A and B are shown apart, each in its own frame.
Chain A
Amino acid sequence: MVTIDFLGPINKDSLQVDIKNLSELSEILKNDEAVSSWLETCAVAVNDTLIRSKNIELNSGDKVSLLPPVCGG
């Protein structure tokens, strides 16, 4: 299973999903009303490393984090 964490203001509990890549995750989240509107603005990290491509294979135990727009300071 892959853990999906929704950070900051998304305000949604983590999910455990059985997926093999980010394209599968994208399809799942597009159908999730609480998350779909965030997808366009969220950055994605796999195991705490930010990534820029959806062509990433995932393995059981991996963690995917969605990071909405930021504003520190």
Chain B
Amino acid sequence: MINAKLQLFDGDLPVEDITNGWYDEFRNSNYGAIITFVGVVRDEDGIDGLSFDIYEPILNSWFDAWQKKAKKSNAIVLMAHSKGDVLNHTSSYIAGVCSPKRRVALELIDEFVEDFKKSAPIWKYDIIDGQRKYAEDRSTKIDGAGILS
């Protein structure tokens, strides 16, 4: 069963395997709240799906920093993400938090997902007619961008 805290997959995520794996791994750790957020690719603007590039060294350090932050609240964070193509109505992203208390988990998952969207080194492309088109208008500059300009 899959249970690593950060998991990357080629293509769409095996959602049940991932979330069941985390549940089996962490339900005996005395966490009172286990929250998962499952992102599903929507059929909109004529896309067939999304595609992703990930830069893993910086993703790992970003995730490690979040794990340290969560630990201060006696919580842990979990994440799974796709690389490559993910078709409509399948999942490309799961975030999770395990915490002794629900309030910590609810607040942390909000912050974790929002920071993920603006900081994690992942690039999104729309798949249209078999071609990848960079989702530039939905992308966010990482803090500190522009120092070479």
Are B148 and A70 in touch, CB under 8 angstroms? no
Contacts of A70 in B (CB 8 A): 117-123, 139-140, 142
Contacts of B123 in A (CB 8 A): 7-9, 68, 70-71
Q: How far is the CA of A42 from the CA of B142 in the complex (A)?
A: 7
Judged by a CB distance under 8 angstroms, whether A16 is at the interface is no
Contact with B along A7-45 (1 / 0, CB 8 A): 111000000000000100110011000000001111111
Contact with B along A39-65 (1 / 0, CB 8 A): 111111100111111100000000001
Q: Which residue of B lies closest to A22 (CB)?
A: B148
Q: How far is the CA of A54 from the CA of B144 in the complex (A)?
A: 10
Q: How far is the CA of A43 from the CA of B118 in the complex (A)?
A: 12
Describe B's contact surface by its main secondary structure: mixed
Q: Which residue of A lies closest to B52 (CB)?
A: A72
Q: How far is the CA of A73 from the CA of B149 in the complex (A)?
A: 28
Are A41 and B146 in touch, CB under 8 angstroms? yes
Q: How large is the interface on B (under 10, 10 to 19, 20 to 34, 35 or more residues)?
A: 35 or more
Given the known inter-chain contacts A43-B141, A72-B116, please indicate yes or no for A67 contacting B148, CB distance below 8 A: no
Given the known inter-chain contacts A7-B53, A41-B141, please indicate yes or no for A72 contacting B147, CB distance below 8 A: no
Contacts of B57 in A (CB 8 A): 48
Which of A29, A51, A67 is the most central at the interface, judged by chain B CB atoms within 10 Å of its CB? A67
Are B61 and A67 in touch, CB under 8 angstroms? no
B148 touches which of A8, A66, A71 (Cβ 8 Å): A66
Q: Can you list the 4 inter-chain pairs with the closest CB atoms, starting with the nearest? A: A8-B123, A72-B122, A69-B139, A43-B142
Q: List 12 A-B pairs, Cβ < 8 Å.
A: A9-B134, A22-B147, A29-B148, A41-B145, A45-B58, A49-B61, A51-B147, A69-B142, A72-B81, A72-B93, A73-B116, A73-B124
